[in-house]
């Protein structure tokens, strides 16, 4: 995943403030290039909050997100991002990635784990 400019800025600010943390992941079926200036998915279809976060390693955070088979049924996943907002497409992307399509037919779930490290 690309660590976006917004994500880097917010990680730096977070070290001494109360800025929103990247507690949500969104998936979508849009296409287009993604880089450090990208702030939203091209076509977001689903968003969820984390179900687990691990801060046990210094300067690292590992977030886990789950989508069940009913939520993912009929989806062709081509993009994913981690956001600090629960509202769709607010420009709060910390991490974002696009890739070739992955089809979900109702028999498979999706678990996403992201790791953020400040160096």
The Cα–Cα gap between 44 and 30 comes to: 7
Q: Which residues contact 57 (CB under 8 A, 6 or more apart)?
A: none
pTM confidence score: 0.81
Q: Which residues contact 25 (CB under 8 A, 6 or more apart)?
A: 47, 48, 50, 63, 65, 80, 81, 82, 83, 112, 114
DSSP structural state of residue 84: S
Closest CA to 79 of 2, 15, 6: 2
pLDDT tens, residue order, the chain (119 aa): 887 877 777 776 666 666 678 889 999 999 988 888 888 999 999 999 999 988 888 778 899 999 999 999 999 999 999 998 877 657 788 899 999 999 999 999 999 999 988 77
């Amino acid at each position: 995943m690309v660590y976006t400019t917004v994500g880097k800025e917010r990680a730096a600010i977070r070290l001494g403030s109360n800025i929103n943390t990247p507690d949500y992941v969104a998936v979508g079926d849009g296409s287009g290039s993604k880089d450090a200036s990208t702030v939203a998915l091209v076509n977001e279809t689903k968003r969820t909050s984390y179900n687990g976060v691990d801060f046990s390693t210094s300067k690292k955070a590992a977030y886990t997100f789950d989508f069940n088979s009913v939520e993912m049924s009929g989806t062709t996943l081509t993009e994913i991002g981690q956001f600090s907002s629960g509202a769709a497409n607010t420009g709060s992307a910390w991490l974002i990635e696009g890739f070739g399509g992955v089809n979900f037919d109702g028999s498979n779930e999706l678990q996403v784990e992201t790791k953020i490290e400040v160096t």
